[in-house]
Structure 1
């Protein structure tokens, strides 16, 4: 976490642009699609930390070069066909491609725009002369990596690492941020409670170092923290199975022997709603479950639900981007609630959630109003 916190100033730079764009839309009372704008923020943060600067999602207010759509198309096709042995071959079948286009999908180009852009970014950096004036980023780290035998990692290896960072790190974070905001919009009493917490902090600290509330302060706010945890529990960014190979000696789970040749998996979405862990209301919104002493909640219960939460995976294969995702989420949600009152365009159903390995909260349309007490 200390490494990520040392980069908060870079996140601040992206955040300032995000708030400027959202402030302008709030002033004009424009409809804001939070699915899009949380994605633009998350992608510009990851590009800033990963390849040395934002790609321009926030500046232009669009899906630059169709990269986000390209990633979504790739996951849509691979998450469905990838579960059916042999079916990925259909992606290259001309008849299947024609039928896919008729249905409104472009399977033949799924992921292509993202791959083309990524290849050029990696190639340009690997061929560019060293620049001592440029602040090292994560792409520099990937290029400097060594194989076990001491050889430098080759071009495909660097592409894979950079692709994992940008392709997986941004979308999942934006899904998490929009899921938290979505639950708060659907539960306005909790939105107001978070506003009160953040307002109290701003009343005693002007956050000169960052300009907006920092992560260490935000994560200590009890109700904000509870709402973030509860939203990510109910709608983890990745809802499909997380596979694991069975050990060589096989394994027995709940009395059932599973041989070494098998692959086992579980869905964080299902595991996070286990009534044996979370109680009879496991599928219901209840941020108070994370606060000991609240309506009979015990310290033991809180420790237990924290221990068995699988939002970021579990054990040795916990998501390596967890810390960055949490810093972005806490800071964005806290500042958003402090800054705006929100009116959903469709109060009955503020957004709809679809799953294509990771979550996408679609049609999350709201109208923002800048709070009088936070206007500069």
Structure 2
């Protein structure tokens, strides 16, 4: 009996040992193989074997700076994960984003599906399908088929100005400009997208606890971007009840419900997936344009959500950051106001907003907007593209097929060889030829700034709307109010996991001399 027990024990030991060796080989061989593919590209040591460096950077809330530090330390192409690099080289990025580029979107994008079973314009990996969908939406985003596009933005800017002037200013009460900026972008985009203003500014509140829940979920979304397999797990029936639903009364689910109901109303009881005929009296907003160009019911729901979420967050960050630099830089603000006061726009009545065409004629305003986007780029996600099957070589560095190449926003927009030795300074004059800027350098800077919005088939369709908002909002806020930052040493709470979460940006406002609200 003892001999049998001994044999059994020996057999079990052999089996356990074999399993242990198999598990080690199962992990070890692919890990070594992956490490060797990119061993010639420097980066943090752990990035050659795991995604822990990338995960720690994401959870730190300072991901944009972690990427920047990697490129500063290891070079303009730095390894940040076993199969991923980050680059601060604008020429390489233009090469990747070129019209006929063989690079493709990576699985990084899949985590941005609002419905895990349905793609949107951002998450479509198939180039042909992406091009077809983009073509159906171009006219709506351009504003050609949206009635009173500019007026819709104007009335929401006035709503923000009136909120400050009537609620906070008379009581000498501080307000969180971080929140107010996003209330504005959410209301303006809902107005443009489907003709319904959410009401964030009118209620002066976080409607449906949308911002609160999105901020709570953003880290989880960012982690799923680091580990794309999580998306497949979450998409399984097991987790269906944990996902936002259009039945929810609060949060992102409530916005999903509004989008669903709005799209359903356009079908007027029609059970088909695509409108056969758009009525002559149908609303002429972006949703109306999308449906007129053949978007299906499901596609329209996804794209309306994409407009609201992607557009409101990044534009709000651009508004907050540029407003901060203006409010804390008297020289720049003084020159901007001098430009405004030297034109016919200085004496406009309270309820009149500068036209986009007139704003574009103000060179210093254009320089301020560009400099704000440069020094604090609001979209810092790496949006990595896949190296084509043939591989690629850039500046002597070989990029093996299937490698993810991501974009380091902070690195691109702080390169001394592009922006000068004062790249860390907010100085709009760098954009002005009349102030001594080299025309060839300004052209190069413009081309580099365009990377913020993508190029070619990957260019952001919302770029035009965003610039219209930016061209108006700074004029209308700073011609009406003196805005004082309450805590200049720590002006806001700001976290970054690819997008910024910013709040506690406390300001006080006083009316400027000669300005009278109506």
Could you state the TM-score of these two structures normalised by the residue count of structure 1? 0.84
**1:370 corresponds to which residue?**
511
Q: Distance in 1 between matches of 2:440 and 2:399?
A: 32
Go from structure 1 to structure 2 and tell me whether the alpha carbon gap of 1:116 and 1:77 turns closer, same or farther (over 3 Å shift).
farther
Q: Structure 1 residue 258: deviation in Å? A: 2.3
Q: Which of 320, 329, 346 is the aligned partner of 1:187?
A: 329
Q: In the alignment, is residue 56 of structure 1 matched against residue 235 of structure 2?
A: no
Q: Which one of the candidate residues 225, 230, 233 is aligned to 2:374?
A: 233
1:180 CA drift (Å): 0.9
Q: 1:286 to 1:198 in 2, by over 3 A?
A: same
Map 1:353-368 → 2, pairs under 5 A? 353-368=494-509
CA displacement at 1:268 relative to structure 2? 2.2
User: What is the match of residue 69 of structure 1?
Assistant: 212
Secondary structure at 1:242 match in 2: coil
Stretch deviating more after TM superposition (197-206 or 184-193): 197-206
- 1:351 maps onto 2:492 in alignment: yes
Stretch deviating more after TM superposition (273-282 or 53-62): 273-282
Instruction: Note the 1:100-111 alignment, pairs <5 A.
Output: 111=252
The answer to whether the aligner puts 1:306 opposite 2:446 as a matched pair is yes
Equivalent residue number for residue 323 of structure 1 = 464
Q: CA deviation at 1:256?
A: 2.1
Aligned to 1:297: 437
* Aligned twin of 2:105: none
- Partner of 2:380: helix, strand, or coil? coil
> What is the CA deviation profile of residues 284-323 of structure 1, one whole-angstrom value per residue up to 9, with x for unaligned ones?
22221111242x4211111111111222223442211111
Secondary structure in structure 2 of the residue aligned to 1:11: helix
Measure the CA separation in 1 of the matches of 2:345 and 2:468.
22
Aligned to 1:137: 285
Secondary structure of the residue aligned to 2:484 is strand
Equivalent residues, number? 354
Question: More displaced, 256-265 or 25-34?
Answer: 256-265
**Aligned-pair CA distance for 1:326:** 0.7
Alignment-derived partner of residue 106 in structure 2: none
- For 2:345 and 2:257, how far apart are their aligned partners in 1? 48
Aligned match of 2:390: 249
Which whole-Å CA distance do the structure 1 matches of 2:199 and 2:346 have between them?
34
Match of 2:340 among 188, 192, 198: 198
Matched, 1:44 2:187: yes
The Cα shift of 1:201 comes to 2.2
1:209-243 CA-partner distances (Å, limit 9, x unpaired): x8121222223322222121111111111112022
Distance 2:343 2:482 in 1: 18
Structure 1, unpaired ranges of 5+:
97-108, 147-152
Query: Structure 1 residue 126 and structure 2 residue 274: aligned?
Result: no
Q: Are the counterparts in 2 of residues 182 and 351 from structure 1 also a CA contact under 8 Å?
A: no
Alignment of 1:82-93 (within 5 A): 82-88=225-231
Equivalent-residue separation in structure 1 for 2:261 and 2:211 (angstroms): 17
Where does structure 2 lack aligned partners over 5 or more consecutive residues?
Answer: 1-141, 240-249, 271-277
In the alignment, what sits opposite 1:150? none
CA 75–233 in structure 1, closer or farther in 2 if over 3 Å, else same: same
Q: Does 1:341 align with 2:482?
A: yes
Distance 2:477 2:506 in 1: 15
Shift of 1:359: 2.2
Structure label with greater radius of gyration: 2
Asked whether the 8 Å contact 1:77–1:110 carries over to 2, the reply is no
State whether residues 260 and 301 of structure 2, in contact with CA within 8 Å, keep that contact through their aligned partners in structure 1.
Answer: yes
Deviations 1:100-125 (A, max 9, x none): xxxxxxxxx98434334433333343
